[in-house]
Chain A
């Protein structure tokens, strides 16, 4: 039997990689990619805990479906915003988008 710790460790490393990407990357699209990694780490944990601690009722998997749906909505709106920002400012680098900075 596979230990639950293996799945949680994979998801922990994945969420940290996503955190690093969201904090350190300059490109807005890279930040969106990192956020997708964080969503997936959360999904792995939801499904693993569902399988190991509450087998028989797929509530964790239902939550994961909601997370996937909301991630799709987030990606669509985020990518549309990036596209609009690129058309306006001709850049996608986050430090150049300082219109509100005094």
Chain B
């Protein structure tokens, strides 16, 4: 019963700020709503027993990416961008497509059989770490290379007079 209440709270915490993040006019407010939505996703991870992902989500998303986003919002764009219309001419088509898409996804997810019984959640950080350096060593190293390339690329792109 308490788990259901917590889940309902987290679902509202994820979906309402996400809906506001894609509809509000002010892009700065949009980024702030995104922070709240991503925090709700971290809560869902905690409810699913993914303790390492809970921490990683807060560190990387709410701590890193959104702060970066807020910096770029403030560095690019003039204050007049905050009062202009924020949707383009095809927003009705986009809304219709999204509505159809969510309906199709819901009918698809209805087909998945519910598992009979759930084992109690155990901490997964230790098995996750072992899996990353045993079974997934090559993708792990590849991701570190991708991050390095992204870092160098970001410095190259944002350099003045490049």
**Chain A residues within CB distance 8 Å of chain B:** 1-10, 12-21, 23-27, 29-30, 32-34, 36-37, 40, 43-44, 47-48, 50-53, 55-59, 61-62, 64-66, 68-77, 79-84, 86-87, 92-95
Contact = CB atoms under 8 A, between A and B. Distances in A.
Given A48-B48, A65-B53, A92-B76, A37 B18 contact: yes
A12 B72 CA distance: 29
B interface secondary structure, majority: helix
A10 B52 CA distance: 21
A15 B37 CA distance: 13
Given A34-B22, A82-B72, A7 B44 contact: yes
Contacts, number: 242
Interface of B: 3-4, 7, 11, 14-15, 18-19, 21-22, 27, 30-31, 34, 37-38, 41, 44-45, 47-50, 52-53, 56-57, 60-61, 64-65, 68-69, 72-73, 75-77, 81, 84-88, 90-91, 93-95, 97-99, 101-102, 105-106, 109-110, 112, 114-115, 117-119, 121, 124, 127-128, 131-132, 135-136, 139, 143, 146-147, 149-151, 153-155, 157-158, 160, 162
19 contacts: A1-B118, A7-B48, A9-B109, A19-B101, A21-B21, A24-B91, A29-B76, A33-B31, A40-B38, A51-B48, A52-B118, A61-B50, A61-B53, A62-B131, A65-B52, A77-B154, A83-B158, A92-B76, A95-B88
B7 A73 contact: no
A10 B108 CA distance: 14
